Amino acid sequence: MVKSEIKRNVSNDRASTILVSNPNLSPQSTRREVMKAIDPAAQGIKIRAMRTKGKEGVVLATASQEDNVKIQSNVQLRNAGFTVQESMGDNPRLRVHGVQAELAPEEFARAAFAQNFQGKWTESMFRASFKPLFKTGKRDLDTVIWVVETSPEMRRAVLNQGRLYIKWDSCWVADFVRVSRCFKCQAFDHVAKFCRGVEICKHCAAEGHKEEACPAKNEPPKCSNCRRAKEDDGHAVTSENCPAYNWAVRKRLRRTNYGKEAEQQGTQQPPTPCPRNCDSAGNAKRDREEASPQGPSEKRVISDLDRPEPPVTPRRRSEGTEIAWKELCRHCFKYGHTTSQCLSLVAACEHCGLEGHKVETCPNRGSSTRCVQCIRLKLKKDATKHSVLTQEICPAYIMHIKLVNK
């Protein structure tokens, strides 16, 4: 789903997006002034969507280049001090894993340039294309994950290189694709601090109470976002298979500028959005920072054209062929991907089977080896006393193979 969406994003004419900004006004004030200055009906302008873009201003998505010209030639906007220019979309973001926690943003950026791009890029070009935003990950670890905003060209250069050398560490990189969810109204694309909606229960999807006071805790969870869209709501709002969440992910990918040359050059495509962490059963917990539709379509989460594709069932494959779902990641120790493709922010230990640290820093070296996969399945303790790498006797591996071969 994600790769096909990026191909569509690469081939689309992104010049049909206009950024209207005014440094003296907030994005909300800019939005109001733009709606006063432009009359789409009188000027014959087809507006597909309007949204604020951080502190930069308001983004208008139009139906054609002709509509862009009409907006750019609007005299009232120019006289009011607004800057009107074509927007190429949001810049992509990358995750840099394994950076020393004590490094400051300036020191991190300086090391990234000096050890990886000196002689290839000028420092001014690098600083404009590589901007550290924030760091995430477990607080009690010596290393963190830096999230950086890059230009499409810098993203391709970093992903082609595969990793960044930062001080004494070789740090692997991956795309950062994440959609936020409000803790208050459960909708996407904003956080509770700025939410104007009503309180909605995370568990039962009813209004007026929080999950802690939910009277239906013993009943199956319901998804409030899918209920708004009149879709099947028989799942938790945090489910990775939630149709509303998949719609929000596609929306985020369409708003990101990965560059028109990405498809032709064959560079890595943005992967499935990464979960922030995983619970003890191995279920992904999604981060919550991004998207609820604005304007008249506020309650509409999914359109008929935006329905997610049905999940693809793995097929039986003949022995001797490369079977992706048999591969075991040496970072999170889950099947179906390699370490370089891993999206998990939480490492797992090969020795003790616990999450939050690697085998090199395992505090339980004196104890017997336990399988992290079997621990996630909550098997009896005796059934977990083996290495996760001994697949021939691992109950979790045997169950996994039976599942994918159904």
Q: What count of other Cβ atoms lies within 10 Å of the Cβ of residue 198?
A: 9
Q: Per mean pLDDT, which of 91-100, 133-142, 268-277 is the most reliable?
A: 91-100
The pLDDT score that the predictor gives to residue 273 is 54
Q: Which of 155, 135, 132, 134 is nearest to 145 (CA)?
A: 135
3-state secondary structure of 308: coil
Please identify, in words, the CATH class of the domain defined by 93-175. alpha beta
Helices assigned H by DSSP within 203-282: 224-228, 243-254, 262-265
Q: How far apart are CA 43 and CA 61, in angstroms?
A: 16
Higher pLDDT, 278 or 295: 278
With a threshold of 0.75, does the pTM exceed it?
Answer: no
| Domain 12-86 shares a fold with domain 93-175 | yes
Percent of the chain with pLDDT over 70: 79
Helices assigned H by DSSP within 201-265: 224-228, 243-254, 262-265
Domain ranges of the chain: 12-86, 93-175, 314-406
CATH 3.30.930.10 fits 12-86, yes or no: no
Q: Mean pLDDT across the stretch 201-227?
A: 90
For residue 157, CA distances in Å to 94, 130, 176 come to 12, 11, 16
Q: What count of other Cβ atoms lies within 10 Å of the Cβ of residue 57?
A: 25
- pLDDT of 109 strictly over 90: yes
- pLDDT of 171 strictly over 60: yes
β-pairing verdict for 93-100 and 169-175:
antiparallel
Close Cβ partners of 370 (under 8 Å, ≥ 6 residues apart): 351, 352, 353, 384, 385, 386
pLDDT band at 32 (very low <50, low <70, confident <90, very high): confident
Higher pLDDT, 85 or 151: 151
Q: pLDDT averaged over the chain?
A: 77
- pLDDT of 263 strictly over 50: no
